Amino acid sequence: MESWNPGAARNAILDFVERATSPGVGFIEPGDRIATFDNDGTLWVEQPLPVQFNFIFAALIEAVKETPSLATEQPYKAIIEKDHDFFEKVGLQDPDAVSALEGAIARAWHDSTPDRFESEAQSFLEGARSERFGRPSTELVYQPMMELLELLRTNGFRVFICSGGGRDFMRVMSDNAFGIPRENVIGSAPRYEFRVGQLHRTDEVLGGVALGAGKPEHIFAATGRLPAIAGGNSDGDIEMLEAASFRILISHDDAEREFTYTEGAERAFAEAEKSGWTVVSIKNDWKVVFG
Amino acid sequence: MESWNPGAARNAILDFVERATSPGVGFIEPGDRIATFDNDGTLWVEQPLPVQFNFIFAALIEAVKETPSLATEQPYKAIIEKDHDFFEKVGLQDPDAVSALEGAIARAWHDSTPDRFESEAQSFLEGARSERFGRPSTELVYQPMMELLELLRTNGFRVFICSGGGRDFMRVMSDNAFGIPRENVIGSAPRYEFRVGQLHRTDEVLGGVALGAGKPEHIFAATGRLPAIAGGNSDGDIEMLEAASFRILISHDDAEREFTYTEGAERAFAEAEKSGWTVVSIKNDWKVVFG
């Protein structure tokens, strides 16, 4: 935890881990030590757009090249026109926007194999760079969070990602970028069908999108438990944080070293204040942001 | 592997692990070392009936006591009349039989919480005994298989159960009985809904039953990979074994120390012979059956 400044957030985390692993009040059985963290904006940078959005956009722009009539439909229209409002709606789980985006994603990878998706995601990630920081996107990982994950692992916690983003994209980079093996990545995902010795992607979303109530639902399905500790940064994380014993909410308040924004996290911060969640200020609590 | 007799099966397993972890042909990247094993009849005794069936039957008999008219419907009728044929149909995935059983299970635990299910399963397991062996059912674990799991773990494999049986029942006992933590248990399961800070069971089966093609489908969803090594004992395991690099098929051929049966595994043994899967004879390959 050497990248954390002394203060209330660091103290609360160290205190939680100390109690969780010591006999007495707050002790957590080793089997129950499940830690879950949101991905974009919690473990790495999500501005100006989550990295995976750019991957999906590139595929959907290809689809428009093949089928120009799509250009007048959503989400293709919003991508071409760089219509930020549409994607804010997606973030806020507007049913029409979510359904249009899911439909386009299903169309782009209809019936494809995991190998095809993985090699496309891999190629994209190799070239993905942040303009703002002039670095590969996969390096824009929050160093203090990596130290927190390591602290948790050392104390017997199994660390999972739980993201509304696409599970299979994250699984391509989670081990290298975060040290989280792919079987510990929970997220929104298509159902695959096994036919003639091979997996084929269907157009169904397996168990619903892993946002809001979908987060604790997916976490229980994957682990058989609700989290002992959870971390997030937006309204889509509220139910996951509610379901946890110890809650961390990241505040993006450092315009100089990262970004300043609260859009889509207003309810989460109100809940954090009401319920005493541990708010982590990037500006004040982190000595460094990136490794 | 001290409970294994020298012979072809033991040699094949040791050779697979040696190659998987040594540079050269057969090497398996550490991230890809996923091992999956069927549960009933592969890790522990499944005769005369899988333990979980007795748990479900007890709940369904309770349902008939509350609603006597159910006694004329399936699967209640088959349970009351001890109609073995009906449950063979379930094992062979007859759609009507499977759907009747799923419906009755959904009805019995409709809207219940994970805590309720867990405490019922725990109580049942504490009292479950095998008449044949005069021992608690949870002790009827195959010692040689436990040694194989340990060998795999020592060599960097992550070991999962993948069973057509109910995931949440297995999760109550997998850690104590097999040393497999509940997050490594894959199986058939209801979808849960998170409402008002609590998970509630729905009547839907999440991602389909984990039998046949459902096994590799569930394994990919849970781990992001197909297995490097898999073990099973029946026709419901064929697709999981096909999907793996190294395949183990348990032959129940020891009437004296366990049971002799091939029903429901005929296609699997034909496939094993055709494709050179490693067949493990309980009679010949295991020095001891139980610990």
* CATH architecture of the domain with residue range A8-46+135-285: 3-Layer(aba) Sandwich (3.40)
CB contacts of B196 in chain A (<8 Å) are: none
**Which of A178, A194, A238 is the mutation pick for testing B, counting most B CBs within 10 A?**
A194
Reported as a single tens digit per residue, the pLDDT across B224-238 is 999 999 999 999 999
Whether A189 and B221 lie within 8 Å, measured CB to CB: yes
User: Is the CB of residue B44 less than 8 Å from the CB of residue B141?
Assistant: yes
A116 touches chain B (CB under 8 A): no
pLDDT at B177: 96
Tokens 């499944």 belong to B46
Q: What is the CA radius of gyration of chain B?
A: 19
Cis previous bond, A48, omega within 30: yes
pLDDT at B87: 83
Give me the residue from A193, A194, A221 closest to B206, CB to CB. Answer: A221
Distance of CA B112 to the CA centre of its chain: 24
CB contacts of B221 in chain A (<8 Å) are: 189, 191-192, 206
pLDDT in tens, chain B (291 residues): 999 999 999 999 999 999 999 999 999 999 999 999 999 999 999 999 899 999 999 999 999 999 999 999 999 999 999 888 898 888 777 889 989 999 999 999 999 999 999 999 999 999 999 999 999 999 999 999 999 999 999 999 999 999 999 999 999 999 999 999 999 999 999 999 999 899 999 999 999 999 999 999 999 999 999 999 999 999 999 999 999 999 999 999 999 999 999 999 999 999 999 999 999 999 999 999 999
User: Hey, is A183 helix, strand or coil?
Assistant: helix
CB contacts of B236 in chain A (<8 Å) are: none
Distance of CA B199 to the CA centre of its chain: 25
Whether B223 and A31 lie within 8 Å, measured CB to CB: no
CB contacts of B220 in chain A (<8 Å) are: 114, 192, 194, 199
User: Is the CB of residue B187 less than 8 Å from the CB of residue B39?
Assistant: yes
pLDDT at A25: 94
pLDDT at B84: 84
CB contacts of B206 in chain A (<8 Å) are: 206-207, 221
Whether B168 and A224 lie within 8 Å, measured CB to CB: yes
B243 touches chain A (CB under 8 A): yes
Whether B182 and A217 lie within 8 Å, measured CB to CB: no
Evaluate if pTM is beyond 0.90. Answer: yes
User: Is the CB of residue B184 less than 8 Å from the CB of residue B174?
Assistant: yes
B226 touches chain A (CB under 8 A): yes
User: Is the CB of residue A90 less than 8 Å from the CB of residue A98?
Assistant: yes
Burial of A167-190, coded b for 16+ CB within 10 Å and e otherwise, reads bbbbbbbbbebbebbbbbbbbbbb
Tokens 């782009």 belong to A108
B280: left (phi over 0), alpha (psi -120 to 50) or beta: beta
User: Hey, is B165 helix, strand or coil?
Assistant: strand
Reported as a single tens digit per residue, the pLDDT across B90-125 is 877 788 998 999 999 999 999 999 999 999 999 999
Average pLDDT of span A79-90: 88
Which residue intervals of chain A bear CATH 3.40.50.1000? 8-46+135-285
CA distances from B264 to A196, B90, B179, B219, B271 (A): 21, 11, 28, 22, 13
CB contacts of A220 in chain B (<8 Å) are: 114, 192, 194, 199
